[in-house]
Structure 1
Amino acid sequence: MKKLISVLTLFSMFLHSNELQEAINNAPSGSKITLAEGIYKGNIVINKPLTIDGVNKKAKIVGDGDSSVITIKSSNVVIKNLTIENSGFSVEKVDSAIHAKEVNSIVIENNHIEDTLFGINLEQVNRSKIIDNFITSKDLELGVRGDAIRLWSSHDNQLLSNKIYKSRDFVLWYSSGNNIENNYGSYNRYSLHFMHAGRNMVRNNFFEYNSVGIFFMYSSGTIAIGNTVKNSLGAFGVGIGMKDSSNFTLLENNLIYNPRGLYLDQSPYHPRTVNIFERNNILYNSSGIQFQVSRERSIFTDNIIKGNIEPVVSDTPRNNLSINDWNGNYWDMYEGFDRNKDGYGDIPYKHYVYADKLWLYNPNVKFFYGSVVMDLLNFLAKFIPFSEPELLAVDNNPKMEAKIAK
């Protein structure tokens, strides 16, 4: 084994392909192991604080197709600048490129991960950084790929500027206090999925061509700000969705060209809680804001709701949407005037559902949704209603102009 003492690190080694696990075993705590270009045998276990640095990602750690490629069993480990490939296929064992459990303060940065079932799997890992990694899964059907990034009961982590492509989900279970920022995802299932996860910050992420953009389930107390979700795919494509989730604040998000821009199912869920939606751009979706069941109040302020086939939709007959507050939103369907030139309409905007009740509550008619036939029926129903219209939203101060931030 060749050894090169570095003045920048306590202990540094320059390795060839079959020596990596041996070097880890022999290295003192706090060592830096620098890898030259080449292929290194994977299925390694790191059980002490150290750094493994591939410098330019030309050093490949390749698993044998069984189990995880790198397993971390120590805090204060750094994995960076590597290419990591060829995990096993076991969902039960969560075979991953990098699997860390019950450790703290690790860094996984600037790695290229491919041909692995799961990408980065953290279980009970706190105060760590996952930064600037590219992750793609094995070439499998979407539902049987592993998750690109998976957190389980992991708190106060930084998940920044990762790129996820053709994986399954980016998911957080029972995890709180995490900062998820500037990530990009495309052609996945859930770009970002929260389960029983609270008090997270979701900021400036960009997701496109996924089945679902961001979905919060059984969660509370999270802020989502400045995210863009475009072109969600499939019949249930969603920009941002919420199921049984309370005390959320959604600010300045862009939901564009999705089957459902914003999807709300029993959210807020807990009694006397409120969800706040402010300064969001909800643009050119099939359904701008779609309600499944409403339990508690949501507040919609200063949002731009434009170009959607239907701005507000209720999936449930006699759903109590009157509990919601709408104020100062821009509605492109508003037909009032602003005589005092204060920027707000003189009369409230009221959104009724007319003939659309046919397709909302009768699956056999959904084939015609968005067609000329439904447009004609809606037009006629506004003048000569053939069913009692249902009031879905009232905005007492509709904004007259839409100013969409670039």
Structure 2
Amino acid sequence: MNRAVPMRALCAALGFVASVALGAALIDDDPAPVRGDTGMGKPANWGAADQKTPRPPGPNRSDLKWFQELVDATPAGGTLKPAAGSYAGPVVVDRPIIIDGSNGVVIDGGGKGTVLVLEGGNSMLRDIRLTNSGDSHDSDDACVNVRKHNNTVENVTIDDCLFGIDLKLANDNLIRNNRISSKVRDLGTRGDGLRLWYSNNNRIERNRIIDSRDMVAWYSNDNTFLDNVGRRSRYSIHFMFAARNVVEGNRFYDNAVGVYVMYSGGGAIRNNVFSHATGATGMAIGFKEASDVTVEGNEIIYCGTGITSDISPFEPGSQLIIRNNRIAFNVVGMRFVSNREGHVIEGNSFEGNMTHVSVDGAAGATSNRWHGNYWDDYQGFDRDGDNVGDRPHEHYAYADQIWMDFPAARFFRNSPVMESLDFLERLAPFSTPVLILRDDKPIFRNPAKAKS
């Protein structure tokens, strides 16, 4: 007799009930109104990313002095330090100059197009406030558009702009210590706080990006993201077709997703804090067809899922190294969308997660290397005092097979019924449990220390 038949029947029944319950919950009796025309007029035509930016024809606000006139009067290599006050945009900087707004300078875009474009390269923009860009996603209305190389954008306050800082075909720039927020919109209709597009070797450090949509790096290689703070956004950082980028020492709170690496290879995610990435798709770190990335020394706490791996590592012979991280108090500590080999999981601390490791389809992840991790549910001793468990740690899926095999049943995960089923399965299994992982040298004492 096949003992898996009762379990599959139970899985199917619970999956059907969960689908009905979730479908009813998702019915919206009061949909949001459709947004109409903002009435802001047509945005400025900045040209394609690889074309020279034309000089704007005039200011967007007639009641303010046009900042472009001050830029035009500043020679190459000069410093522009205007008097305190508000000035009108848009502005194109087409020569290497320093713009110092430390006297209390504000450039107002008038609600149309992009506020300021760094077109010439080798320029510096510092200690200034930029505000009130246009509202068009078609023209990528932003506060700062960086089009050339070797620029510095530092100590700039950016608010009420659709996109914050937008780098296009721009290399070797320094984006440091800026405060960036988007327009007040629903999450999906905001602009990106910081975007890199075909831009390499840039350094993004000590910025605060709050209430934007995403920070993205697409087709952009060898960039460094250091000591930034991201809050209340969708993706803290989203890499796509981007190689050898480094994310280090950042703090990401209350975002839907922390760092997502898609179709990319190389690089490292290390010594960051990820917290409260919650919601239906909440995760701290995610991989989609990614290869040769090291995840090391991070604190991943209070998230829907700590680390998700989907068809990764992708390239033959490549690896994902998950080392010395604290993965704690998440719903799922580490999730494998498929049982794919090439993961090296060692020296991590798994503690307080509802489920430490799950594999979709109720499969196992035994083809990966699990070594020297701390497990708070380890059932064993350390009789010789070497801080290594006397027996391997094995993690089985019992009733968890239901929601791993039928995602709709996750609605009932950790419910009294599921907990009772899990207890009965462990006491007297009526289906064969699935071995999820086997750690041959589990650490006996928890080595992790909180970073914040």
Q: Which amino acid aligns with 1:391?
A: L
Aligned counterpart for 1:340 among listed residues 361, 384, 388: 384
Q: Deviations over 1:170-226 (max 9, x none)?
A: 000011111100000111000111111111111010001111111111111011110
Larger deviation, residues 247-256 vs 22-31: 22-31
| 1:47-83 CA distance string (max 9 Å, x none) | 0000111115x31100021110001111111111111
- Corresponding residue of 2:295: 250
Which fold has the larger relative contact order, with Cα–Cα distance below 8 Å and residues 6 or more apart in sequence? 2
Tell me the distance in 1 between the aligned counterparts of 2:414 and 2:193.
35
> Partners of 1:43 and 1:339 in 2: how far apart?
72
Name the % identity: 38
3-state DSSP of counterpart to 1:35: coil
Question: Residues 249-280 of structure 1, C-alpha deviation per residue, up to 9 Å, x if partnerless?
Answer: 11100110001011111111111111111100
| Residue 17 (structure 1) shift | 5.0
Hey, what does 1:380 align to over in structure 2?
424
Q: Which amino acid aligns with 1:323?
A: S
In structure 1, how many angstroms separate the alpha carbons of the residues matched to 2:373 and 2:212? 36
Residue 314 of structure 2 aligns to a residue in which SS? coil
- Matched with 1:309 is 354
2:195 is aligned, of 144, 150, 175, to 150
Look up the equivalent residue of 1:42 and give its one-letter code: G
Q: Give how far 1:364 is off.
A: 4.3
Specify the alignment match of 1:44 in structure 2: 91
Question: Please, what TM-score do these two structures have when normalized by structure 2?
Answer: 0.84
Distance in 2 between residues matched to 1:363 and 1:73, nearest whole Å = 49
Alignment of 1:59 with 2:109, yes or no, is no
- 1:13 matched to which residue of 2? none
Task: Give distance in 2, aligned partners of 1:284 and 1:322.
Answer: 23
- Conserved? CA contact 1:355–1:387, under 8 Å: no
Is contact 1:212–1:237 with CA below 8 Å preserved after alignment?
yes
Distance 1:364 1:323 in 2: 27
Q: For 1:263, what is the secondary structure of its paired residue? A: strand
Secondary structure in structure 2 of the residue aligned to 1:272: coil
1:65-84 matches, within 5 Å, as 65-84=111-130
1:295 deviation in Å?
3.1
Instruction: Indicate which of 249, 260, 264 corresponds to 1:215.
Output: 260
- Counterpart of 2:151 (choices 106, 130, 153) is 106
1:275 equivalenced with 2:320 (yes/no): yes
| Structure 1 residues 152-186: Cα deviation after superposition (integer angstroms, max 9, x where no partner) | 01111110000011100000001111110000011
Within the candidate set 124, 128, 133, 1:87 is matched to 133
How many angstroms does 1:235 deviate by?
0.6
Match of 2:79 in 1: 32
Shift in Å at residue 296 of structure 1? 3.2
Residue of structure 2 in register with 1:324 after alignment: 368
- Offset, 1:26: 2.3
Cα drift, residue 43 of structure 1: 0.6
Alignment match, 2:245: 200
| 8 Å Cα contact 2:361-2:406 kept in structure 1 | no
How many angstroms apart in 1 are the aligned matches of 2:323 and 2:317? 19
**Aligned partner of 1:41: which letter?**
A
Aligned to 1:8: none
- Is the 2:346–2:370 contact (alpha carbons within 8 Å) kept by the matching residues of 1? yes
Bigger mean CA offset, 373-382 vs 69-78: 373-382
Match of 2:403 in 1: 359
Instruction: State the distance in 1 between where 2:266 and 2:406 align.
Output: 36
Q: What stretches of structure 2 of length at least 5 have no aligned partner?
A: 1-62
Aligned-pair Cα RMSD in Å: 1.3
Q: In structure 1, how many angstroms separate the alpha carbons of the residues matched to 2:231 and 2:275? A: 10
CA distance in 1 between counterparts of 2:331 and 2:362 reads 19
What is the alpha-carbon distance in structure 2 between the residues aligned to residue 358 and residue 405 of structure 1? 34
Amino acid at match of 2:193: A
CA distance in 1, matches of 2:409, 2:174: 49
**Does structure 2 conserve the Cα–Cα contact (< 8 Å) formed by 1:150 and 1:172?**
yes
Partners of 2:416 and 2:374 in 1: how far apart?
25
Give, in whole Å, the separation in 1 of the partners of 2:248 and 2:305: 21
Distance 2:107 2:361 in 1: 52
Could you state the TM-score of these two structures normalised by the residue count of structure 1? 0.93
Amino acid paired to 2:86:
I
With over 3 angstroms needed to count, the CA separation of the structure-2 counterparts of 1:279 and 1:142, relative to structure 1, is same
Whole-angstrom distance in 2 between the partners of 1:157 and 1:137: 22
Which SS does the other structure have where 1:312 is aligned?
strand
Partners of 2:72 and 2:259 lie apart in 1 by 41
Residue 52 of structure 1: SS of its match in structure 2? strand
Q: Following the alignment from structure 2 to structure 1, what is the Cα–Cα distance between the partners of residues 255 and 138? A: 25
Query: Separation in 2 of the partners of 1:363 and 1:303?
Result: 27
Q: Which has the higher strand share?
A: 1
Contact residue 269 and residue 296 of structure 1 kept, 8 A:
no
Q: Paired residue for 1:289?
A: 334
Q: Secondary structure at the match of 1:322?
A: coil
Kept in 1: contact 2:66–2:89 (CA 8 A): no
Contact 1:17 1:38 in 2 (8 A): no
For residue 317 of structure 1, report the CA deviation from its aligned partner: 4.0
